[in-house]
Structure 1
Amino acid sequence: MRFAVWAPNADRVSVIGDFNDWDAARHPMQVRPEAGIWEIFIPAVEPGALYKFAIRNRDSGEVLTKTDPYGRRFELRPNTAAIVEPPDNYRWQDAEWMEHRRRHPDFWQHQPMSIYEVHLGSWQLDEHGQFLDYRTLAHRLVDHVRALGFTHIELLPITEHPFDGSWGYQTTGYFAPTSRFGSPDDFRYFVDHCHCNGIGVILDWVPAHFPRDEWALARFDGTQLYEHADPRQGEHRDWGTLIFNFGRNEVRSFLLASALYWLETFHLDGLRVDAVASMLYLDYSREDGDWIPNIYGGNENLEAISFLREMNSVTHGEQPGTCVLAEESTSWPQVTRPTYLGGLGFTMKWNMGWMHDTLTYMREDPVHRRYHHDQLTFGMLYAFTENFVLPFSHDEVVHGKGSLLQRMPGDDWQAFANLRLLYAYQFTYPGKKLLFMGCEFAQRHEWSETRGLDWHELCSEYHRGIQQLIADLNALYSSCPALHHYDFDHRGFAWADCHDSDQSVLSYYRYARSEGDRHRDQRDRHNDQGDLQGDRHRDLDGLERDRHSEEGDRHKEKHHDYSLVALNFTPVPRFGYRLGVPQPGFWQERLNSDAACYGGSNLGNGGGVMAEEIPWSGQPYSVSLTLPPLAAVVLVSSSHDDGALGTGD
């Protein structure tokens, strides 16, 4: 077995392990002084052996015992030794999935993407209150996710970490799936089983900071090797963690290797990068005078920006078809735009602004919502500036915030109705979808990593109704092109009426690709084969022409799909509510969140309505609707009829 470690400020490094009685004198390593890398080959070391490094600092003489930063497997906490892992001989069964991913690297742009966010340690426990293993989780999770129609599972960090209460966000093993749930091959089985059942897997990955544990990365060779020496650059005081030195090539290499390792070795379909805002700003969560400006005097972390661009370029280049999602909570521009245009190069970004505005609005008593209508409409001003994911994540159901159900106003009936309305709004609004575990059946209690989800609540009709609604919303989102094809493009959205604040009603259209759009897409693909610089000019010219012709196209071209969404944010039913529609014929009520099967009052439009030749709000036709209390109705034109889901009388 060959061992190697980077420790440029050491004057002695030894491998210690259970194969040499943890004796630092037995296996001293040789140094490559130009690189600061120490290495040794030790014969007869078998897979499963435990090891660490004994590192003596050249200046202080201090001896530190460190685990392997590149370790591929570790002992179960609280033990911290790395484990010698054999070569990867796992026999994957997902060749078809991986080939499709490689051949369709931009599948996510025009396809539905609905993400189920999971903390593996608390999704479900065994009969003794212990963790399930990766293989058991694979089968139970996939069955659950497929039944509800989610397309992807996003895992809170399963990179090795010592403290359960950190949920994995204080990573110490950047190349090792946590041993809490089994071996690396067990995790490969988990991903493999997901792929064989048509489910993608995304990992929450944490390059922004790392914990101070003395046996891990902190002061690795007796100096601030992975972190900055100056605490004004090197500490996250809010979290008690250390910040990577992104200006150091070896540190960048370490993190880039980690990102590629998960995508390549474990076949993961994407990474969700945690706390990107804390990486971008030197003054993130700091007082004046407690941070060091960049060379131009600004607060931008130029080294971190450079790293993120390189990471996104490398991962997309080396692993086509994978996604990198940014948790970025500020108005930093072009997070999801290509690096050659000055962007950061992420595939998608969490829309934190939309999430905060929406939840703030939903907490209002319906009688007051008329005064907060702009919290729903404001988001459309920036909805297409990035490729957005709409997240109701773990962060929204912890730290005293309560569950999503607890944040809804009114009695039990109104709280569940509000939650159904919230989910319908999320699934019909432009952007990919993300929902944290437990939210799919309206768990009443705030989430805690110390216990499993309250699955017993599914004995209640209201909770079962929420779960059925999520399944039906996923089915509608996937089957109706208007609701997903233009998630990132303004061509797929238009207001029907955004001004009815007096009645707290919001309505909009969603469009699928038209014949003209198809020709434009074909032209763009043809241009992609030409000179890149020429493409940029043609794209800009084409975009300008599209803007002028677009409104006319919507009336002249035959669309594959129209959808009309009407949301009533008060408990007052609205009868004879007229909205304009772009074409005649029958408009089917594909979904009504007030349907009896979801626990609602079953008020609705009897399966659909006929458009009348009454112009309304700039449309040549209109429909007269019944809007149920605290409910959403989704109607589609008769040219796209896949059968109704939950509908009211």
Structure 2
Amino acid sequence: MPRLDDKILYSIPDGAGALFDGTCGDPFSILGRHNAGSVDIIRVFYRDARRVRLVVARRNGGWTERPMRRVDDGGLYIGHVSAGAAYRLKVTWADGVEETADPYSFPLLLSEHEMDLFLSGRPARLEQVMGARPMRVEDVAGVRFAVWAPHARRVSVVGDFNIWDGRRHPMRLRHEAGIWEIFIPGIGAGERYKYEILDHNGRIGPHKSDPFALCAEIPPATASIIVAPSPFTWTDGEWMRDRGLRQADEAPIAIYEVHAPSWRRPTGDPALTMSWDDLARELLPHARDGGFSHIGLMPVMEHPSGWVWGCPPLGLFCPSARHGPPEGFARFVDACHAMQTGVILDWVPDRLPPDMHGNACFDGTALYEHPHPPATSLMEGRPLFYDLGRREVRGFLISSALMWLERYHLDGLRVDTQPVPAERQEEMAVFLRELNEAIAERVPGAVVIASDTLSASGVTAPVTHGGMGFSFQWNTALPRMLAAYMERDPLWRGGDHAGIIARSDTAFSEKFILCHAHVEGMRDGRSLLSRLAGDAWQKQACMRTYLSFMWGWPGKKLLFMGLELAQQGVWNPEGQLDWEASRLPASVGMRRMVGDLNRLYRAYPALHRGDCVPDGFSWVIRDDTQNSVFAWLRHAADSAPVLVICNMTPVVRHDYRVGVPYRGYWREILNSDAVEYGGAGVGNAGGVHAHDHGAHGFEHSCVLSLPPLGMLYLSMAQADLS
């Protein structure tokens, strides 16, 4: 082999000093293969190696070893091979020998198309482009890393595989996109890693978790974990085919909202968390027995430190490791679909935690976050806000949403947003329209639910009609008003009728989901049950009336965990539901009633088909403030109506006449005062006959006994409640 002069071959190239002190922003200009005519000069940097040898492919087959010369005290080794010859590295460490391909011998990794996708902000599967992706390059197995940090001077991958030394694997900058990339051979799924970033001021901050990580350590540890590329084997083909019908405007949707860590703790120990497989065995049957069509999960993305009230997620692409590996979450969703239960996930696209190992100040600048945060955000640990005006950030967020829907077969997202200043409202609206258009195109049949914080009109109107394109919007206003009404002494409730009546005027301004959500579970530091008026019996009756009122009112339904158990105490996210008290008669009765409400809601079309259209509701009695009685009808085409009557006082109303549209027998399909629910059993012996006696604008009426603090549903139809 022709040999170069030693001064040329073993000279230390310009910029090597930056490599030694960890400030090199262009390591590929120094390391790897560099042609010098008939030979290629090979340079590698292994600071703590005892020696490094080249393993070179022979022309006639086989391999031969050749020493590399250490040319300085910093760890730079230089050798040479014939031009174009294949080679590997044999590195001797203090505790063993490693044979590996040279990370700096590989060509550019990201294609121009992939970088254009990222820069454009178009909805794409960016988790397959960015982050850590196991693959083979030139038939060598390893992991390709890609991270966006356009203002950094140097970015390195650090992990157990390089003893967390940022000088070992500095990355290559693709200037046109601000993306750093490297392929590290010989590592794979299960490895922990982070990014070490030298910012534009020459400072190295805390190691950063990967914004696109698909898995992370159990907090308080914060490293990202490489995930194998093999897809999960799903068995929910029939569910996925039909779910669009199950989630349509006319479908009976009743969501059981769950904070997975605090639903139940193994052995009751607050330090333990159930796995996804355990939740599939216990939570799923509980929700199905309660008649719920969906489980709504509060954010399962990794959080920075346990559960903090209002805390935004840290890892927008990875399920929390507290419940097990990502494939465990996929098994949970698959099990839900096997039991005909949908899964909706809370997703937070507007704010990020200020934790410095996360996306905040990622490359030393406000990269993901808005450049002008509230003055107290960093100082007091409050959330920052994503810069939704930046295309790359919008693409990052929309890719996260699509990933949960596509990779994990989730049936919908509840987009949890906070109110934004007036000057940023249009920016937010543009982003939400882009999000909903992308989901409608890529994941038809999935639902996207808006937070109640969006005050603009047309939230659930199609984007093509000037709306935001959401499927439904949370409605917490009616439940809160109803709860406040039930907290008042019954003697004074008549004066508050106007507020309840007024809610019917806006019941169809959007397509609503009536929500007794987690916020209500700890308002004022008290549970709803403890806030209701009256003695213990009246509180329980008021709770049954509260739920029966919501299930009879137009709109889809959502109930936060614990309310079905008539839980006395306030929700504690660091604890669990009061499962000991769940065996008491009051809890057993409430749970039975919630199940019956959901079964009625599903079985009687009048109770769900008209949830989103004004024709589905009409008042019968709205002005009886003296007796605090409401009555209305729920309608559906080609189906018998359901009459809903509520008595908001602790007094039995005998011989109370109510107008109805048809004569004949009206069956009592629900009585919230039923003995099996914990009530006194005041009712109408299963039903009443309506006669030709006009009342409330109808030609017919029936005479009822209204139970105290109770609700009645009556219908002329008989439905299968199985």
For 1:600, the aligned partner's letter is G
* Residues in 2 aligned to 1:179 and 1:64: alpha-carbon distance in whole angstroms: 21
- Between stretches 382-391 and 156-165, larger displacement belongs to 156-165
Is residue 124 from structure 1 mapped to residue 252 from structure 2 by the alignment? no
1:361 and 1:372 in contact (8 A); partners too: yes
1:54 and 1:65 in contact (8 A); partners too: yes
* Residues in 1 aligned to 2:629 and 2:533: alpha-carbon distance in whole angstroms: 17
2:232 and 2:330 in contact (8 A); partners too: yes
For 1:641, the aligned partner's letter is Q
For 2:266, the aligned partner's letter is D
* Residues in 2 aligned to 1:167 and 1:92: alpha-carbon distance in whole angstroms: 34
* TM-aligned CA distance change 1:423 to 1:106, over 3 Å: closer
Higher relative contact order (CA 8 A, sep 6+): 1
Which residue is 2:52 aligned to?
none
* TM-aligned CA distance change 1:415 to 1:399, over 3 Å: closer
Is residue 221 from structure 1 mapped to residue 363 from structure 2 by the alignment? yes
1:228 and 1:234 in contact (8 A); partners too: no
Shift of 1:88: 3.5
Shift of 1:249: 0.6
* TM-aligned CA distance change 1:87 to 1:511, over 3 Å: same
2:149 and 2:362 in contact (8 A); partners too: yes
2:255 and 2:293 in contact (8 A); partners too: yes
Shift of 1:108: 2.3
* TM-aligned CA distance change 1:198 to 1:236, over 3 Å: farther
1:599-635 CA-partner distances (Å, limit 9, x unpaired): 1111111111111011222212111111010000100
* TM-aligned CA distance change 1:317 to 1:167, over 3 Å: farther
1:317-350 CA-partner distances (Å, limit 9, x unpaired): 1101111111123532111111111111111111
* Residues in 2 aligned to 1:15 and 1:237: alpha-carbon distance in whole angstroms: 29
* Residues in 1 aligned to 2:619 and 2:523: alpha-carbon distance in whole angstroms: 36
2:580 alignment partner, SS class:
helix
Unaligned 5+ segments in structure 2 are: 1-142
Shift of 1:169: 3.5
* Residues in 1 aligned to 2:381 and 2:354: alpha-carbon distance in whole angstroms: 11
For 2:663, the aligned partner's letter is P
Shift of 1:643: 6.9
* Residues in 1 aligned to 2:268 and 2:665: alpha-carbon distance in whole angstroms: 55
1:48 and 1:84 in contact (8 A); partners too: yes
* TM-aligned CA distance change 1:369 to 1:401, over 3 Å: farther
1:72-110 CA-partner distances (Å, limit 9, x unpaired): 000111111100100143211111111113xx3684211
* Residues in 1 aligned to 2:279 and 2:153: alpha-carbon distance in whole angstroms: 46
Shift of 1:230: 1.8
- Between stretches 397-406 and 368-377, larger displacement belongs to 397-406
Which of the pair is proportionally richer in helix? 1
For 2:348, the aligned partner's letter is V
- Matched positions, count: 578
Is residue 338 from structure 1 mapped to residue 478 from structure 2 by the alignment? no
- Between stretches 575-584 and 3-12, larger displacement belongs to 575-584
1:224 alignment partner, SS class:
coil
2:247 and 2:447 in contact (8 A); partners too: no
Shift of 1:468: 0.7
Is residue 352 from structure 1 mapped to residue 476 from structure 2 by the alignment? yes
Q: Which of 297, 309, 313 matches 1:171?
A: 313
Is residue 383 from structure 1 mapped to residue 511 from structure 2 by the alignment? no
Q: Which of 343, 346, 351 matches 1:201?
A: 343
Q: Which of 282, 291, 301 matches 2:421?
A: 282
* Residues in 2 aligned to 1:479 and 1:643: alpha-carbon distance in whole angstroms: 6
Is residue 249 from structure 1 mapped to residue 391 from structure 2 by the alignment? yes
1:398 alignment partner, SS class:
helix
Q: Residues 63-102 of structure 1 correspond to what in structure 2 (within 5 A)?
A: 63-101=205-243
2:351 and 2:384 in contact (8 A); partners too: yes
Which residue is 1:583 aligned to?
662
Which residue is 1:636 aligned to?
715
- Between stretches 570-579 and 161-170, larger displacement belongs to 161-170
Which residue is 1:570 aligned to?
649
* Residues in 1 aligned to 2:372 and 2:525: alpha-carbon distance in whole angstroms: 35
Is residue 6 from structure 1 mapped to residue 148 from structure 2 by the alignment? yes
For 2:560, the aligned partner's letter is F
For 1:258, the aligned partner's letter is S
* TM-aligned CA distance change 1:577 to 1:311, over 3 Å: same
Q: Residues 89-488 of structure 1 correspond to what in structure 2 (within 5 A)?
A: 89-101=231-243, 104=244, 107-127=247-267, 129=269, 130-166=272-308, 169-232=311-374, 235=377, 240-275=382-417, 277-278=418-419, 281-282=420-421, 294=423, 300-329=424-453, 331-488=455-612
2:513 alignment partner, SS class:
strand
Which of the pair is proportionally richer in strand? 2
1:157 and 1:169 in contact (8 A); partners too: no
2:642 alignment partner, SS class:
strand
TM-score (norm 2): 0.78
Which residue is 1:557 aligned to?
none
1:356-415 CA-partner distances (Å, limit 9, x unpaired): 211111110111101111121111111001000000011001153411211211111100
For 1:96, the aligned partner's letter is E
* TM-aligned CA distance change 1:349 to 1:412, over 3 Å: same
Shift of 1:315: 0.8
* Residues in 2 aligned to 1:236 and 1:326: alpha-carbon distance in whole angstroms: 28
Which residue is 1:552 aligned to?
none
* TM-aligned CA distance change 1:105 to 1:628, over 3 Å: closer
Shift of 1:33: 0.3
1:403 and 1:445 in contact (8 A); partners too: yes
Shift of 1:168: 7.8
* TM-aligned CA distance change 1:601 to 1:61, over 3 Å: closer
For 2:682, the aligned partner's letter is L
* Residues in 1 aligned to 2:651 and 2:464: alpha-carbon distance in whole angstroms: 51
* TM-aligned CA distance change 1:107 to 1:230, over 3 Å: closer
* TM-aligned CA distance change 1:4 to 1:635, over 3 Å: same
* Residues in 2 aligned to 1:463 and 1:352: alpha-carbon distance in whole angstroms: 24
Is residue 617 from structure 1 mapped to residue 703 from structure 2 by the alignment? no
Q: Which of 43, 53, 70 matches 2:195?
A: 53
For 2:261, the aligned partner's letter is G
1:54 and 1:63 in contact (8 A); partners too: yes
Which residue is 2:672 aligned to?
593
2:600 and 2:721 in contact (8 A); partners too: no
* Residues in 2 aligned to 1:61 and 1:466: alpha-carbon distance in whole angstroms: 59
For 1:477, the aligned partner's letter is Y
* Residues in 1 aligned to 2:493 and 2:568: alpha-carbon distance in whole angstroms: 24
TM-score (norm 1): 0.87
* Residues in 1 aligned to 2:694 and 2:482: alpha-carbon distance in whole angstroms: 31
Shift of 1:239: 7.3
Q: Which of 161, 171, 185 matches 1:19?
A: 161
- Between stretches 398-407 and 219-228, larger displacement belongs to 398-407
2:285 alignment partner, SS class:
helix
* Residues in 1 aligned to 2:230 and 2:715: alpha-carbon distance in whole angstroms: 50
1:597 alignment partner, SS class:
helix
1:472-503 CA-partner distances (Å, limit 9, x unpaired): 10111110110001100011110011111111
Which residue is 1:40 aligned to?
182
* Residues in 2 aligned to 1:181 and 1:106: alpha-carbon distance in whole angstroms: 28
* Residues in 1 aligned to 2:451 and 2:202: alpha-carbon distance in whole angstroms: 40
1:569-611 CA-partner distances (Å, limit 9, x unpaired): 0011111111111111100000100111111111111111111
* TM-aligned CA distance change 1:576 to 1:238, over 3 Å: farther
* TM-aligned CA distance change 1:492 to 1:238, over 3 Å: farther
